[in-house]
Amino acid sequence: MNGVIAGISYRALLGRRRIWLLIMLPVVLIGLAVLLRVIGSGGENATITLMRTFAIGTMLPLLGLIAGTGVIAPEIDDGTIIHLLAKPISRPVIAQTKFLVAASILALFAAVPTFVAAYLLVGLESGVASGFAVGALVGGVAYAAVFMLLGVLTRHAVTIGIVYALVWEGVVGNFVPGARRFSIQQWAQSIADQLSSSPFFSTEITLGFAVPALLIVTVGAVVWAGQRLRSFSLTGDE
């Protein structure tokens, strides 16, 4: 962790218009929760549907994509990353710092709003709010690592990330049961499920699979990104 790098990364990510992208989705989530409550259909079942499809299924991967690629891909694109890389700082430390910045952004913009939205609907009933908040936190951390790695590996990180989140996790994961085992949002849901005692919610992936998978993916992505940065090459424009 390097404070200077973290500071620059936060400013790059939260400065200007990009912050509105990060704020928009949580605002929609909380707005939907308020709406459900107002029209009086905010039962436990509806809450879980909202959390599964919107909070974990839509908001989390999109925010993960914005924050995960956003901490590093634009800097690689325009070459400003050289300012950080041409310093006597180990490249893995740079990758770890970028990851922590993205992960903290997701905690703030994804996990906290998830808790707030669920709390507005069902309070602390059946541990739904805390379960989904922890699920969003852990899933967000994994998304941050994976999408940051994508940002280091390829210039098409955003495209590939959208394809993964929408096509693989969204479509394939819904129809092909086997694919669900390799989906960050399914792991996040599995954790949310285990932490809540709600009868309306069950997932097929066990905690015994989801937790090691999340750990391996997160640590692996951060380590790989650090190694990739060690071989960062400037290919001449000429």
Partner 1 sequence: MRIELAQVSRWYGNVVAVNDVTMTIGPGVTGLLGPNGAGKSTLLHMMAGFLAPSGGTVTLDGTKIWRNHEIYRSIGLVPEREAVYGFLTGWQYVLSSARLHHLPNPDDAARKALAMVEMEPAKDRRVETYSKGMRQRVKVAAALVHDPEVLLLDEPFNGMDPRQRLHLMDLISAMGAAGKTILFSSHILEEVERVAQHIEVLVAGRHAASGDFREIRRRMTDRPHVFRVRSSDDRRLASALIADASSGSVSLTETGLEVQAVDFRRFTWLLPRVARDAGVRVWQISPADEDLESVFSYLINRSS
Q: What is the dihedral of CA 197, 114, 215, 57, to 10 degrees?
A: 90
Q: What are the helix (H) ranges across 44-107? A: 44-50, 60-70, 73-78, 82-85, 91-106
In the bound state with partner 1, the residue whose beta carbon lies nearer, of 97 and 196, is 97
60-70 and 18-38 helices cross at what angle (nearest 10)? 170
108 binds partner 1 (CB under 8 A): no
Least distance (Å) from partner 1 to the CB of residue 11? 6
Site string for partner 1, 45-84 (x = CB under 8 A): ---------------------------------xxx-xxx
Out of 40, 199, 208, 236, the only residue in the binding site for partner 1 (CB under 8 A) is: 236
Out of 6, 12, 24, 207, the only residue in the binding site for partner 1 (CB under 8 A) is: 12
Out of 11, 174, 219, 220, the only residue in the binding site for partner 1 (CB under 8 A) is: 11
16 binds partner 1 (CB under 8 A): yes
Q: What is the spatial distance between Cα 182 and Cα 205, in angstroms, rounded to a whole number?
A: 10
* Cα 48 to chain centroid, rounded: 19
In the bound state with partner 1, the residue whose beta carbon lies nearer, of 5 and 213, is 5
20 binds partner 1 (CB under 8 A): no
Least distance (Å) from partner 1 to the CB of residue 233? 5
234 binds partner 1 (CB under 8 A): yes
230 binds partner 1 (CB under 8 A): yes
Least distance (Å) from partner 1 to the CB of residue 74? 10
19 binds partner 1 (CB under 8 A): no
> Among 59-67, 87-95, 177-185, 192-200, which window interacts with partner 1 (CB under 8 A)?
87-95
Q: What is the spatial distance between Cα 68 and Cα 136, in angstroms, rounded to a whole number?
A: 15
Q: What is the spatial distance between Cα 127 and Cα 129, in angstroms, rounded to a whole number?
A: 6
CA angle 187, 168, 68 (to 5 degrees): 70
Three-state secondary structure call for residue 166: helix
Q: What is the spatial distance between Cα 234 and Cα 181, in angstroms, rounded to a whole number?
A: 37
Q: What is the spatial distance between Cα 152 and Cα 98, in angstroms, rounded to a whole number?
A: 11
Chain residues that interact with partner 1, rule: CB under 8 A? 2-5, 7-8, 11-12, 15-16, 78-80, 82-91, 230-238
